[in-house]
Structure 1
Amino acid sequence: MSSVPIAMSTEGEPTTFAKLLHLIFLSTFWGMQIWVTFISGLIMGSNLTRHTFGFIQSKLFPYYFHLGSTCAFFNLTIFAVHHPSELLSNEETFQIIIFFICVTVAGINAQWFGQITSEIMTDMHLIEQSCGLGQDIGLTINREAYNQLEESNPKYKKFSHQLALYHNASSLCNLCCIICNGISLYYMAANLSTL
C-alpha cells in the first residue's frame, strides 16, 4: 500500500507548503497589527516627545502598511487558488470576501491615508518647531499651547483638521483589517485540516 507524501495534495486540497505560506502571511499581518496598534503605539505615545513619536511613525508606518497589504494580497491569492469559485461553499465565499475587503482596505491605507497622514504631520511639526513646541512627552500634555497655535495660525488649524480626518480614516482602515484578520484566524482555526 503506497502512501501519499505529506506535502502532496489530493484534487482541490492545498499542499502543506501552501497552508504554511497562508499561515505565515496571516500570522505576520495579525502580529504586526496587534503590536503596532495596541502595544508599541501606546508605549511610544506616552513615553516619547511628540515630534520623536511622529517621526518614528512616519518612518515605521509606510513599511507596516505596505507589508500588511502584501500579506493580505498573498492570503487572498493562496486562498482563491485553492478554492475555485464554482466550488465555493457559503463559508468559503464569506472568507474570500473578507480577504478581498482586507486587501482593498490595506491597499488604500498604504497608498493613500497613511501617506497623507505622515505628510500632514511633517508639515505640522515644522510649524510647531518654529513656535517652540513638540518636545513635550505624551500626546495630551500641553494641549492648551497647541489649541492656541490652532487659533492663531490658520494654516496650522487647516493641517490639524486634515490630520484628524486622515488619521481617523487610517485608523478605521487598520481596525477593519484587524477585524478581517481576526475572522480569518477564526476560520483557519475551525478548518485546520484544510485551509
Structure 2
Amino acid sequence: MAQKSKNALLRIATKTTQPFHVALAVLVVAAWLTRAGSSASVRGWRALYVGAVATHLGAQIWMTLISGIVLYFSLPRHEFGRVQTVLFPVYYAFNSLVSLLAALAYFRTQCLTRFEHTSWVQLALLLVVFSIEAYVRLVLVRPMLRAKHVKTQMEEAAGGGQEVGSLVLGELAHCPRYLRVLKTFRAYHSSIAMGTMITLGCSFYSTMIIVDSMCH
C-alpha cells in the first residue's frame, strides 16, 4: 500500500501539472506575506485559517451539491459506485485534515493576538467539523464500502446495476440476504449523509463568522 501511494504521488509529480499549481499558490502567498502590514507570523496563520475554511467549504459544495448529483444522474449506478468508492476515503481524510488545520490556525492566531475578538463559537464549530469528519473516515466509511461491495456483487450476479439515477431491485426484491445487506449499506450511508449535512451547516456558519469579523 505504501509503495502504491508512493508511485501515485510520483506520477502526480511527474505526469501532471499539479506541481505547477502548488508552486503558483506558494508564490502568491509568499508575495502577499512580503507586503507591508501586520507581522508576517499573524498574517500567515490568518491566511492558513481563512484558506482552510474556504477550501473545506469549496470541497463540500463541489462533492455534495455538484459532482455527486451530476455523476449519479449521468453514470450507470455501479460505475457511479466505483467512483464513490475511490473518492469517499480521500474526501473525508482530506476534509478532516483541512478542518483540523483551520482549527489549529485559528487558535494559533488568537494566541498571537492575545485572544482579542476571539469567537469561541468559531473554534467550537471547527472542532465539531473535524470530529465528525474524522469519525466518518475512521469508523463509518470502511464498513459502508464493504457493504456496498457485497451489494454490488449480488446485483451484478442478478444482472442489475446498469440503471442511471435509480435503483431497480428486480428479482433481488425477494432475496432476504440482499435486503439485509441493502439495509446495512443504507444505514451507514444515511449516517454519513447526516454527518455531511451537519458539517456543511457548520462550514456555512464559520464562513459567516469570518464575514462578521471583516465587517468589524
TM-score class, shorter: 0.7 to 0.9
Matched, 1:112 2:139: yes
Is 1:151–2:195 an aligned residue pair? Answer: no
Does residue 60 of the first structure (1) align with residue 87 of the second (2)? yes
How many pairs does the alignment contain?
Answer: 180
The percent identity for this pair of structures is: 19
In the other structure, the counterpart of 2:199 is 177
- Partner Cα separation in structure 2 for residue 159 and residue 90 of structure 1: 51
Which residue of structure 1 lines up, in the alignment, with residue 151 of structure 2? 124
Question: Which contiguous aligned blocks of 4+ residues in structure 1 show a shift greater than 3 angstroms?
Answer: 87-91
Task: For CA contacts below 8 A with separation 6 or more, give which structure has more relative contact order.
Answer: 1
Q: Provide the TM-score with structure 2 as the length reference.
A: 0.76
TM-score of the superposed pair, with normalisation by structure 1: 0.84
Of Structure 1 and Structure 2, the greater helix share is in 2
Structure 2 residue identity aligned to 1:127: M
Task: Tell me how far 1:62 sits from its aligned partner.
Answer: 0.9
Report if aligned partners of 1:79, 1:96 keep a CA contact under 8 Å in 2.
Answer: yes
Partner of 1:192: 214
Could you tell me how far 1:42 is from its partner in structure 2?
0.8
Q: What amino acid is the match of 1:59? A: V
Alpha carbons of structure 1 residues 161 and 90: separation in structure 2 relative to 1, 3 Å = farther
> Shift in Å at residue 155 of structure 1?
2.2
* 1:41 aligned residue: 68
Unaligned 5+ segments in structure 2 are 1-34
**Structure 1 counterpart of 2:160:** 133
Shift in alpha-carbon separation, 1:59–1:127, aligned structure 2, 3 A: same
Q: Aligned letter for 1:133? A: G
RMSD over aligned Cα atoms: 2.2
Give the secondary structure class of the aligned counterpart of 1:132: coil
Please give the alpha-carbon distance, in whole angstroms, between the structure 2 residues aligned to 1:7 and 1:155.
64
Contact 1:47–1:137 (8 Å) recurs in 2 = yes
Q: How does 1:25-36 map to 2 (within 5 A)?
A: 25-36=52-63
The CA deviation at 1:89 is 7.8
SS at match of 1:192: helix
Confirm whether residue 161 of structure 1 aligns to residue 192 of structure 2. Answer: no
Distance 2:110 2:173 in 1: 53
SS of the residue 2:166 aligns to: coil
8 Å contact from structure 1 (residues 50, 134) kept in 2: yes
1:38-96, Cα deviation, whole Å (9 max, x unpaired): 11111111111110000000001111110000011011111112225xx7689611111
Q: Does 1:8 align with 2:31?
A: no
Q: Shift in Å at residue 150 of structure 1?
A: 3.8
Alpha-carbon shift at residue 144 of structure 1 (Å):
4.5
Please point out which of 60, 69, 73 is paired with 2:100: 73
2:123 counterpart SS class: helix
Partner Cα distance (2:134, 2:118) in 1 = 24
Question: 2 CA distance for matches of 1:181 and 1:83?
Answer: 19
- In structure 1, what is the Cα distance between the partners aligned to 2:188 and 2:195? 10
